[in-house]
Amino acid sequence: MRHRSTVLAAALALACTGLQAQSTQAADQPDAAALRETANALFGPVPHRIEQVRGQQVTAAQVELGKSLWFEPRLSRSHVISCNTCHNVATGGADNVPTSIGHGWQKGPRNSPTVLNAVLNIAQFWDGRAEDLKEQAKGPVQASVEMNNTPERVEATLRSIPAYVEAFRKAFPGEREPVTFENMARALEAFETTLVTPDSRFDQFLAGKDSLDATELRGLSLFIDKGCASCHSGPNVGGQAYFPFGVVARPGADVLPAGDKGRFAVTQTASDEYVFRAAPLRNVELTAPYFHSGQVWDLHQAVAIMGSSQLGHELDAAEVEAIARFLKTLTGRQPQVTTPLLPPSTSTTPRPE
C-alpha cells in the first residue's frame, strides 16, 4: 500500500491549508503569492533531470541503449509494435485512443498511461501493480494483447544482433552476460528517466514568475479548494496514491466498466474494489481520451465527472472552464527525441510471427 493513508492524510491537510490561505480572498481573485506557497507545498516542479533510480546512477550508455529499445519493434513478436507505439513521445507520451491496439489488433483493457514523467509516479500501471518502470517495462512486452513476446525470444533477438550485444556490454559493464530481459527493462527505465517535461507555465509560476493569467490562477485555486488536490498532488499532480473511482457517486458503466475492479486485482482486498492510482495530470491536455477506460474525450467533461463522482460537487461551467484552463498550464517542455538507427537483424534473429 506504500503508506497510502499517510499520503492521503498529508494531502488533505495541505489542501485544507490551501483552503484557509484562500479564505480571505474573493473567490475569483486568488492571492497569487499565497496560492504559490500552497501550490509549492502541494505539488512542486517537475525536475529537469532524474539522475538515479533505486539509488543507482543512470548512465549515458544505458539511456542510449534504452532509446534504441524504446523504438525497437523487434521487442514484439510481430516486429511491428514498439514501446513508442502506445507511449508515443510525439503525442504526449500516450497513444490517444481509448485503449491501445496490440498484437493481432487486439484491444487492451485500459487506456495507455503517458510515459512522460512516469518516473515520478509511486508505482506503475493504473493499478500500481509494478513498483517501478523497470518492472513495468516487462509487462507489455509479454502481454498477449500487446507485444505478445517472451523473455527468451527477446534475449535471443537481442543476442543475435552484434550492435546490441556491444551496447548492452557498455550499458552494463562487468556483467558476464549483459544481454538479459532484466537489463532490457533497466535500459528502458534509464531512457524513461529522460522523458520528463519541466518548465511548464505552472512550474514557472511555482518558481515565482507571473506566468498564469487570472482564469488560470482561479482554476488552480479551485483545484485546491474543491479538493481535487487531495488526490492529485505531488510534482506529477497525481500518480502518488490510490483512491476509489466513484467515492461519492459512481459514474456510468461506460466510464467505469463493472468488469474492471482496478487495484482489487492486485491486493485482493475488498476495499480496493474500483481503486486506481490517481491519474498524473502533467501534460493532460495532450493525453485524451481520459480515465482508465479512455471513454471521455473532453477535458471539461472529465473535470465535471471528477467533481461529481469524487467530490460531490456539481461544478458550474465557469468553474470547469477555469480548472481546465489551469490544467493546460501543466504542459511542460516536451522531450526532443532523435529517432535511433536500429541495427539490422542477422540470420539467427527470430523472424516476425
d(CA 91, CA 334): 10
Say whether residue 163 binds a second copy (CB under 8 A): no
Q: Does 56 bind a second copy (CB under 8 A)?
A: no
Instruction: For residue 189, indicate whether it is catalytic.
Output: no
Q: What is the 3-state secondary structure (H, E, C) of 149-191?
A: CCHHHHHHHHHCCHHHHHHHHHHCCCCCCCCCHHHHHHHHHHH
Active-site annotation holder among 72, 146, 189, 216: 146
Residues 103-142 that bind a second copy (CB under 8 A): 104-105
**Of residues 127, 140, 238, the one with CA closest to residue 188:** 140
The answer to the question of whether 313 is labelled as a binding residue is: no
- Is the Cα torsion angle 218, 224, 226, 232 positive or negative in sign? positive
Burial 160-180 (b: 16+ CB within 10 A, else e): bbeebeebbbebbeeeeebbb
Query: Binding of a second copy at residue 270 (CB under 8 A)?
Result: no
Task: Kindly tell me which residue out of 7, 65, 101, 256 binds a second copy, with binding defined by CB under 8 A.
Answer: 101
DSSP 53: E
| Among residues 40, 88, 211, 308, the one that binds a second copy under rule CB under 8 A | 88
CB nearer to a second copy: pick between 22 and 295: 295
> Does the protein bind a second copy through residue 90 (CB under 8 A)?
yes
Place of cell 488560470: 216
User: From the list 40, 78, 180, 211, which residue makes contact with a second copy (rule: CB under 8 A)?
Assistant: 78
Separation CA 215–CA 297 (nearest Å): 22
For the chain, what is the largest distance between any 2 Cα atoms, rounded to a whole number of angstroms? 73
345 contributes a contact to a second copy by CB under 8 A = yes
Contact 345, 282 (CB under 8 A): no
How far is residue 134 CA from its own chain's centroid? 14
CB of 94 to a second copy, least distance (A): 11
Asked whether position 213 contacts a second copy by CB under 8 A, the answer is no
Q: Which spans of this chain sit near a second copy (rule: CB under 8 A)?
A: 71, 73, 78-80, 85, 88-92, 95-98, 101, 104-105, 285-286, 288, 297-298, 334, 336-342, 344-345, 347, 351-352
Q: Residues forming the annotated binding site? A: 83, 86-87, 103, 228, 231-232, 306
Q: Residues forming the annotated binding site for heme c? A: 83, 86-87, 103, 228, 231-232, 306
Q: Which amino acids are annotated catalytic? A: 146
